[in-house]
Structure 1
């Protein structure tokens, strides 16, 4: 197939306030909107995109809209690439959650940890991510842009590098793009990072 271009949404209001957004309706900051436009324009100088798939959450959709305008491609939505549901911790700041005794601070122990209040474990996220990638047509010649989120990216990388249940502890920056020559589930895929616009500056800082 063509290449996959995965992007973490641009800077959101939750990112700027150090809030754990989960699935709450936080939109992009003005800086995030400007940067999404800039990244889309710069990407268009390098490649053509034939399909855009976004998480349905507003911060992802607003990012995707910048690319839809530049590439003149309608955006599809897929909840399988949405962000982790953090249950009762949704909307807390990073400082607040550190005081919660039942919150799993160790990122290496979240595979089976289910946040109280209807949250998702990393294993649950991995299953929906695997379902999403299994649904992609590897015979297609389309270049596809996929707009998703920080924690979901953690599980996506593990799926692409075929390391599950092990997964990385790091996140991509807001606006960072990963380029993948996708061959299908069960393969080990090299990942090329593209830091366009101001994405180099929007570093995840818990």
Structure 2
């Protein structure tokens, strides 16, 4: 049986607007983000998710709740789906990070697989979330699963599951955009990426 797996990024937060590293800080949706989630949920509900699993951080959980209300599916929270930990960079803009960690930020921005001080590298967070998603999908009989999480880790997990090994070949989903995968017996197929359901 082929399952449909939706990767859905949370709605906008004030940190998104300000260009701050959010990481595992629990930053809530702002008013725009709540509206984005409600709008996108209407389109995703048409796909009939039977299981909704979100990061336990409030911005993803609230986004998932907007879909849960329309589908009458009780959402599950899973801390394994949290955003990459950005350590000492969390809460700061790139300019603020550059004042202390200029070389490290330049390497990171160029795609190097380095961890911010006290944080996770791209490959570490991507492997964590890819393993969690695989476990979720393989342990349910649901044919359509919605995974609601965060931009960096959804991208990283997608690349790992597709055998791209975190090469930066897939773009980061914008707020409330989603990707759709088919999953059959351990094989992942990307059907679409970056759409915003309406």
Taking structure 1 as reference, are residues 179 and 134 closer, same or farther at Cα in structure 2, changes over 3 Å only? closer
Distance 1:101 1:40, change over 3 A: same
1:119-138 C-alpha deviation (Å, 9 max, x unpaired): 11122113212321331228
Query: Which ranges in structure 1 are unaligned for 5 or more consecutive residues?
Result: 198-206
Partners of 1:41 and 1:164 in 2: CA distance: 33
The equivalences for 1:108-123 within 5 A come to 108-111=110-113, 113-116=114-117, 118-123=118-123
* Contact map agreement 2:4 2:182 (CA 8 A) in 1: yes
Q: How many equivalent residue pairs? A: 193
CA 139–78 in structure 1, closer or farther in 2 if over 3 Å, else same: closer
For residue 14 of structure 1, what is the aligned residue in structure 2? 15
CA distance in 1, matches of 2:27, 2:95: 18
The 5 A counterparts of 1:68-107 are 68-99=68-99, 100-106=101-107, 107=109
Report the structure, 1 or 2, having the larger strand content: 2
Structure 2 distance, partners of 1:96, 1:155, is 25
Tell me, yes or no, if structure 1 residue 57 matches structure 2 residue 57: yes
1:152-177 deviation line (CA, Å, top 9, x unaligned): 02212212321115233631111101
Preserved contact between residue 127 and residue 160 of structure 2 (Cα < 8 Å)? no
TM-score by length of 2: 0.87
Offset at residue 101 of structure 1 (A): 2.4
Once the two structures are superposed, residues 41-78 of structure 1 have per-residue CA deviations (whole angstroms, 9 ceiling, x without a partner) of 1222x321111010111111111110111111111112
| 190 and 157 in structure 1: CA distance in 2 versus 1, 3 angstrom threshold | same
Q: What does 1:129-168 correspond to in 2, within 5 Å?
A: 129-135=129-135, 136-137=137-138, 140-168=141-169
Structure 2: any 5+ residue segments left out of the alignment? none
User: Secondary structure of 2:179's partner?
Assistant: strand
**Structure with the bigger percentage of helix:** 2
SS, match of residue 12 in structure 2: coil
Superposed CA RMSD: 2.1
